[in-house]
Amino acid sequence: MSDTGPSPRSTTPRTVLISGASIAGPALAYWLHRYGFAVTVVERAPELRTGGYKVDVRGAAIEVAERMGILEDIQRASTDMQTGAYVNDDGKRIATLPADIFGARVDRDDEIMRGDLARILYERTRADVEYLFGDSITSITSATPATSATSVTSVTERADGLHGADGIGGPDSPDSPDSPDGVDVTFEHAAPRRFNLVVGADGLHSTVRRLAFGPEEQFVRHLGAYISAFSMPNELGLDREELYHALPGRLICAYSSAGDPAAKGLLVFRSPRLSYDHRDRQQQLTLLEAAFEGVGAESSPAGGWGQVPRMLEAAREAGDFYFDGMQLIEMDRWSHGRVVLLGDAAHCPSPASGQGTGMALVGAYVLAGELAAAGRAPEEAFGRYETEMRGYVAVNHALARKFARDMTAGTRRQIRFRHLMIRALPHMPWKNLIAKKIADDVQRAAQAITLKDYPAPHRASGPAPAAARPTYAA
């Protein structure tokens, strides 16, 4: 990063609360700590969530990972997928391609399990960032001069532990959490506290977005499909291979990644928007089973891959079961006062884009850099953050809309044509050009932002003073 520009040490707000400990939250915490902020991350789950499906890191996100020093960690934890194939009802491979073509990956692009990336980011930040697991925000209120400093639990002592030598973060500082320019936050379990800034990095169903901007329904754009992912026994003996089976309106996938003795299942189906509780696992399982009822059963006239009934059984037993809509989040603005949204909470591109993880990493880099550059003017930083990110988000949302349509073919004729093209591709003299064309849309979206060089961090990331280290579980 550039060594020019204003030093963030004496001008930036000191305390930041981040909601969400998946990808966007810890990535932002990493950068903010390097810029001298005292960071707290609150996460509803009782511990770090290490489940999830495989995610891509491409384009600008690769550059961010390199600047963070985690690119080699990502490469070591790579899924190392080798091939992708479509299979018929009997599981016979009828069309096979290299996995990188299936995933539209080029050059240094890589793929990693979401849980592995979450673990990498957590390990890079746990010594310097306060983590509150098993808790959630219940209210967010802008602080006013009339608010008594004794009405909230102050984090001044922790900030003094980081910066007490030069007085920054003390109670008389304009950046103190006890100054009027703050946000009062209450939690389900922890005592109330005040922070200079609050960041919602808590995903598609963001609590921070609901509290600060209004009901989720205002911002969700359903793309006409649902997706479920879960671990399952590797009864197929897959080795870094992904198998796909397509039916009209449905897509079934099973795969295994490097170093994981289990396999993963992925089920996608077309549907109008459904009404259910996104925290009610049984409701979700009922909807999933209804969408795939009879598929793969010997007596079913609809046919389908015989593995599907076992996949549904595995979904019922999986500890990492996931189910949600293919949905975009579209908002006119991502900040309100001293509250700002990041990642899926601000602009979820849905799993259809394959870009949510990359956008989270890039957004964290941009938001932290703009906060460091803007000094005591977070509203200015938020505006610049949006300016930098809007075009990037728009391109990836367009990609999501396209892929959501393409993931589930509408007719058996369309499926047969797709199989024919994939089967013929390795034998075509211009196969490399066709493979490049397949990847072009994805690569254009992954590289649709030019990363700025922000002020250099005032100190290298390393172990923080003891006051900043605790990792609490409520």
Q: In the predicted model, what is the mean pLDDT of the chain?
A: 86
| Tens-digit pLDDT profile for residues 368-415 | 999 999 987 899 999 999 999 999 999 999 999 999 988 888 888 999
| Tens-digit pLDDT profile for residues 157-201 | 333 333 332 322 333 344 444 445 799 999 999 999 999 999 999
The pLDDT, as a whole number, for residue 102 is 84
Q: Is the pLDDT of residue 138 over 90?
A: yes
Distance of CA 467 to the CA centre of its chain: 29
Q: Is the pLDDT of residue 11 over 90?
A: no
The pLDDT, as a whole number, for residue 161 is 34
| Tens-digit pLDDT profile for residues 259-269 | 899 999 999 99
Q: What are phi and psi of 98, to 5 degrees?
A: -60, 145
Mean pLDDT of 417-437: 78
Closest among 458, 450, 461, 457 to 64, alpha carbons compared: 450
pTM: 0.86
The pLDDT, as a whole number, for residue 375 is 82
Lowest-pLDDT range of 136-145, 146-155, 182-191, 286-295: 146-155
Q: Cβ(208)–Cβ(137) under 8 Å?
A: yes
The proportion of the chain whose per-residue pLDDT surpasses 70, expressed as a percent, equals 85
